[in-house]
């Protein structure tokens, strides 16, 4: 079976493209090596998202945006296409890699999603890696939060109130098809700047920000979370393949078209099917993403 790997690091206006290009290329190369060695799609998407969470230029893990209290709250989810198992966490703090905590939820609990203090308690019981709060907070995010806080607004990563700054949606994700034809997907985010009231977006919601099924495809999204939730977006991509016999490329394009035309949603999506075919589409100005297969690595920012 041919293998395929795709990752994304957000959609929208990007100013420092080379920084993202280098990071995406490195993540793809690492994941490609693992897929070539026969590692499962599930393990590879977790690995790739962990690398993205550890890179402070992305809004996930270290480098996450700050909520209304100036603190980090993170969401993540992953799904295995071979048996439809899934794990998700929302509103967690202190956990170095929320995507790995989501996998622990999948494999070591009877649940799919854990949130807030309960998720953190579970993380401690399972021996997840924790970091001090300052590990997660960068000067860039602190300044971004300060501008939003002073303006008394809640913003997405791309909606900084200061002119001529980068305007990029803040989510990372990975999808893969392994040598056995199994697919998997993972998505992680720090959410939106200055968010209040325990807001949760689409990233940890199965069928909205992440989905995987060997019978159709694996999907990860980036964009305005509320729109992806309202349209059950990730599952919609799979349904276009299942019920309309679309290719994965056609399905991603049609889903973004629906999102844009039906509710004015903005964002992007990556997807792969169980035969190693791939698709991507976005309605934002750009999407930071790339792919890798047995022929090499391509960054498509």
Check 85, 155, 162, 171 and give the catalytic one: 171
Which residues, 6 or more positions from 231, have their beta carbon under 8 angstroms from its beta carbon? 255, 258, 259, 262, 263, 265
Question: For residue 121, with 0-12 CB atoms within 10 Å meaning exposed, 13-18 middle and 19 or more buried, which class applies?
Answer: exposed
Helices 17-36 & 41-54 angle (0-180, nearest 10): 150
DSSP-H helix ranges across the chain: 17-36, 41-54, 98-108, 116-125, 133-136, 139-150, 225-230, 233-244, 248-263
User: Known catalytic residue: 171?
Assistant: yes
Helices (H) and strands (E) in the chain, counts: 9, 13
Closest CA to 185 of 163, 209, 156: 209
DSSP-derived 3-state class of residue 299: strand
User: Token pair 């939003």 is at which residue?
Assistant: 148
Contacts of 117 (CB under 8 A, 6+ apart): none
| Matching residue, tokens 């998720």 | 119
What does the block give as tokens for 253? 């394009």
Q: Which residues are catalytic?
A: 171
């Amino acid at each position: 079976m041919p293998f395929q790997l795709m990752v994304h690091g957000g959609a929208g206006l990007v100013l420092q493209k080379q920084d993202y290009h280098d990071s995406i290329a490195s993540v793809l190369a690492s994941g490609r090596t693992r897929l070539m060695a026969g590692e499962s799609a599930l393990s590879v998407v977790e690995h790739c998202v962990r690398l993205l969470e550890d890179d402070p230029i992305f809004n996930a893990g270290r480098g996450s945006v700050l909520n209304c209290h100036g603190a980090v709250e993170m969401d993540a989810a992953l799904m295995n296409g071979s048996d439809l198992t899934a794990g998700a966490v929302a509103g967690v703090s202190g956990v170095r890699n929320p995507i790995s905590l989501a996998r622990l939820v999948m494999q070591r609990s009877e649940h799919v999603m854990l949130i807030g203090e309960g998720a953190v308690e579970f993380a401690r019981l399972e021996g997840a890696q924790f970091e001090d709060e300052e590990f997660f907070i960068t000067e860039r995010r602190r300044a971004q939060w300060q501008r939003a806080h002073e303006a008394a607004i809640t913003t997405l990563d791309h909606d900084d109130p200061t002119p001529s700054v980068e305007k990029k949606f803040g989510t990372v994700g990975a999808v893969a098809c392994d040598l056995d034809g199994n697919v998997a997907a993972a998505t992680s985010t720090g959410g939106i700047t200055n968010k209040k009231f325990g807001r949760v977006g689409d990233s940890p919601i199965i069928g909205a920000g992440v989905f995987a099924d060997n019978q159709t495809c694996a999907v990860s999204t980036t964009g305005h979370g509320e729109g992806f939730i309202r349209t059950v977006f990730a599952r919609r991509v799979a349904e276009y393949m299942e019920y309309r016999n679309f290719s994965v490329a056609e399905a991603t394009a049609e889903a973004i078209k629906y999102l844009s035309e039906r509710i004015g949603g903005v964002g992007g999506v990556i997807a792969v099917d169980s035969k190693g075919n791939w698709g991507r589409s976005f309605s934002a100005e750009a999407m930071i993403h790339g792919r890798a297969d047995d022929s090499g690595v391509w960054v498509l920012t």
